[in-house]
A and B are shown apart, each in its own frame.
Chain A
Amino acid sequence: MSGQTLCYLAVFAVTIGLVLAPMIMLLLTTLNLGPIAQPDLGISLLNYVTAWSSPTTYTTLANTVVFALGATAVAVLFGASFAFLVERTDMPLKTLAYVAITSTLAMPGMLYAIAWVLLVSPRIGLFNLALLKLFSQQDGLLTSWAGVGFREAPIQPYGLGGMIVVEGLRSVGLVFLITVGVFRNMDPALEEAAAMSGAPTRTVVRRITMRLMVPGILAAAVYVFAQSLDAFEIPAVLGLQSAVFVLSTKIYLLVKNEEHGLASALGVGFVTIAVVLVLWYGRLTRRIERFATVTGKGFRPRTLRLGRLRHVAFLGVAAYFGVVVLAPFLVLVWASLVPFYQVPSLAMLRRVTLKAYWYVFVDPWGLTALKNTFILVVTVPAATMVLAALISWFVVKTRLRGRRLLDILAFLPQVSPSIITALAFIYMFLTMPLKLIPAYGTIWIIVIALVSNLLPYGTRTMHGAVMQIHKELEEAALTGGVAWGRTFTHVVVPLLLPAMISGWVFIAMAAIRYVTLPLLLYSPGSRVVSLLMWDNWQGGEIAKAAATGVVLMLAIGLITLAGRIADQRQARQWAGG
């Protein structure tokens, strides 16, 4: 058996271990089996019948699809454009832009959702208040100048439209991170050939660059779509207010009402959609050679000169940063400085205090939480990205039997509700034979669950990048007698490094901010920082929760910056050698 086959089997086994437990738990729960079954009801298909015969399910499903498609469109439009600007153009301050664009990912979901309510709510939203101050029909400062005025708050965020825009904007950083490595790995030979033939820049970008980016952009779209199906905080805050349901909020209400079987039966709907998505993606990118841009020939990514447009491009990124990142962040900072949230005013300014920040640093549980969070930041991205790189390579570049199944398996955790995933791991590590591994109650069970949950992100990031690498590189090494393992680590991995670093950054951020999985898996010795924030939130200590959130975001910002610097260093080495 060759080294490649052995490695493939090992990767398959690890993936099954990480993925099957949540899936089995999901299926068992739908059949009223397993640890949260209703013992008096017995095995039954009733949950499927009830879930899928209810007319509200189909309204909810339609809302979910519209929501996910809309959010994906917004995210891909902005995210891919920003990735192009940062990676392939001479836009100024690109490192700053990189950190600015990805900063939304650092904000914990519940705080981000609340921050948006405080920005766009018709009554207290700062954006609405500012717009009314300027353009109110009655006494707007600029109404007479503009010639028109608003009678009521111009932004009405509650409903499907608001949900789509806010969720879409939130996912921009995600698309950016998935596609930025792909843009980096693009051999400009084809663009140069087109330019030499007299094609204008716009045509080159549209007909060459963007088309070559199809696998990477599609991978991002597939992932964001699946993530939007599962997105909870924004639909809960902006949708529930006007009784607009999507599947995730429906599942939340079912779980709250102890209808775990029904919730899981709806969750199986997620799984089906995910399988269809993966198969569709596989079909679209079947002729992968068309997208291979990293070949045996050396190349240097070419920088496109934008001329005067470079400043316009930067202003676009800055506007995005101001509205989508800075404004919610400042709302959080304000919330962390006052004893209770009110619209900023002189009276509230007098009550500003740094007490909440002091508390963050003297929190008696803080040291343990910091240590554990550090373990998460180091281990979860490393394990996930190595596994994802191997899976993507086997799926995309080999003809090994079962590789499509491996691809589907690696994508499934994305659509398993976090509660089900957590319960699956609890059960797995409390029963034989895994009971022998003392992971339960330690930080390691959280690490394993997070690797499982984030694996889909890793594989989506790596698929696009792997497709860009031509098989001739691997073939050249193998022909030269280099073993497969060595070829992979010395030839393939360095070429995948930009995408791996992007993935690493996102996964580190996610590992820091995730709440649901750690919440169900932690013990007092394995508390993490996101749980301290959650504890404060639950205790009504909003200032402390916001202060922890602000500190967390700053820490994540530093990680992003470190990732970007590493990425650039690698790019320079590449360009130099």
Chain B
Amino acid sequence: MNHLASRRRFLRLLTMASAGAALGPWRASDRASAQSAAPAAPPGPAVARQVEQWYQGARKEGKVVWWDAWDKDIVEKLAAAFMKRYPGVTLEAFLGTDDDTKLRALAEGRAGNVTFDVIVTSSGNYFEYKKAGLVTDNSDVLDAIGVPKELRYEGTYDPTYFVYGAAYNPNLVKESELPRTWEGFLDPKWKGQLAVESRLKLFVFATPFWGGEEKVISYLQRLRTQAPRFVKGDIASNKLLVAGEFPILLPAYLTNYPRYVPQGAPWGYVPLDEVYVTGGGPGYTRPPNAPHPNAGKLFMYWFMGPEGQAIFDERFTGNPMPGANTGPARFLEKHKITPRLVPVKYEQEIASYTRKYADAVGLPIR
């Protein structure tokens, strides 16, 4: 491969970094500024030199090990694109749930022998990793991409968002019959029609918008009288919804839209007045003693930049806030659904909220 040509092409892509920034995370307090964030400046020769330096280091290291919870399909695409862009650097991915990744990372960290270079920190895992000393400041990488300061969290950055709403099976219920509010699901006509995913994350993230913990507990106690069916896991619950096992599922990620709708599966997103969005909190990071430090930086730079994010956008994980012009943002605008960004605190304290809410809904954890 002609390396200079490759670099020129890469630099051209870097000029698209503003798009990457637009896909970036938001913190509730920074929403206004982030929405109006100016596009990042085109990368200069200094950035190009820095990237080249990481690449040369990465070639010597030979590989980068990335731990994440993404779909196998998208990871394969990313790996192929990355290795084509940077020959001589192999991308090895470990895929697990956020829980699996966390347990293993903490065990490695505490044993003082870390085998990964880049790790996702979603589901509140960032705070555990921080306690275990597995987090670094990656400002140099984020500067190179051009991520605005207000989109960063302690030198980390997460370009992915999750929208917590509700899904329905159009073969079993008409869109016109669906409620526009969450309160609407408490109508007796939905008794026995609702399925609830057992992790109850939706209700934790709705807390600041429903008037606090007590209001959510009251809602869950009333929801319990609707005889909801508890289902385990996002994948299984959506599969059963599409199969016709139940008409409505709370919650459902909007990321399921590209999985089902283009194939003609009976899956629809309930047009609620508002849904809840996580993102904009802590993001990807690298451990201080990563085995392949240059390769880790190079991969973060590429993955969180426009090229990596273009591949990701097909999974509907881009910024869903109005005006972001991503797939999810356009979808929510079209259906007049308002996305509410969840403050980081709720991700951080998800375990204690879940415990209380599980008791309220009749799914006691302890």
Contact = CB atoms under 8 A, between A and B. Distances in A.
Interface of A: 35-36, 39, 50-51, 54, 56, 110, 114, 117-118, 121, 123-124, 158, 236-237, 240-243, 250, 252-259, 262, 339-343, 364-365, 419, 422-423, 426-427, 430-431, 435, 440-441, 519-520, 522-525, 532, 535-542
A262 B115 contact: no
B235 A341 contact: no
Interface string B102-137: 011011101111010000000000000001000000
Interface stretch (B15-23, B71-79, B146-154, B298-306): B71-79
Contacts of B11: none
Q: Which 8 pairs across A and B sit closest by C-beta, in order of nearness?
A: A539-B71, A430-B111, A524-B92, A535-B72, A340-B265, A35-B110, A430-B113, A35-B107
Contacts, number: 152
A253 B198 contact: yes
Given A340-B263, A523-B92, A537-B235, A257 B365 contact: yes
A257 B259 contact: no
A54 B111 CA distance: 33
18 contacts: A36-B106, A50-B366, A121-B245, A240-B198, A241-B229, A250-B365, A253-B365, A259-B366, A340-B242, A340-B260, A340-B263, A341-B239, A342-B244, A343-B244, A365-B76, A426-B104, A427-B111, A441-B115
Interface stretch (B173-181, B278-286, B323-331, B355-363): B355-363
A221 B355 CA distance: 36
B236 interface: yes
Interface string B200-221: 0000000000000000000000
Given A341-B243, A430-B108, A519-B100, A541 B229 contact: no
Nearest to B258: A540
A195 to B, nearest CB: 53
B290 to A, nearest CB: 15
A35 B131 CA distance: 12
A36 B245 contact: no
Contact of B256 (A365, A422, A535, A540): A540
Given A243-B363, A257-B358, A431-B112, 16 more contacts: A39-B131, A54-B366, A240-B230, A242-B229, A254-B366, A257-B351, A257-B355, A423-B104, A427-B111, A430-B111, A523-B94, A525-B92, A535-B95, A540-B235, A541-B71, A542-B235
Contacts of B345: none
Given A35-B106, A538-B97, A240 B245 contact: no
B19 to A, nearest CB: 25
Nearest to B72: A535
B232 interface: yes
B263 A339 contact: yes
A539 B198 contact: no
A254 B99 CA distance: 12
Instruction: Give the contact-size bracket for chain B.
Output: 35 or more
Contacts of B70: 539
Contacts of B106: 35-36
A423 B246 CA distance: 37
- Which of A118, A365, A522, A540 gathers the greatest number of chain B CB atoms within 10 Å? A540
Given A426-B104, A538-B97, A540-B71, A236 B232 contact: yes
Contacts of A536: 72
Given A535-B95, A537-B235, A540-B238, A520 B100 contact: yes
Given A253-B365, A540-B259, A123 B103 contact: no
A241 B365 contact: no
B292 interface: no
Contacts of B351: 257-259
A430 B107 contact: yes
Given A39-B131, A339-B263, A538-B95, A243 B107 contact: no
A268 B51 CA distance: 52
B231 interface: yes
B245 A123 contact: yes
Nearest to B131: A39
A523 B235 contact: no
Interface string B7-38: 00000000000000000000000000000000
Interface string B338-366: 00000000000001001100100011111
Contact of B73 (A118, A124, A441, A539): A539
Contacts of A541: 71-73
Given A241-B231, A535-B72, A114 B198 contact: no
B48 interface: no
A254 B72 contact: no
Interface string B251-262: 000001001100
B337 interface: no
B240 interface: yes
Given A56-B366, A257-B355, A538-B95, A431 B111 contact: yes
Contacts of A537: 235
B93 interface: yes
B92 A342 contact: no
A262 B131 CA distance: 21
A524 B229 contact: no
B263 to A, nearest CB: 5
Contact of A118 (B95, B235, B243, B246): B243
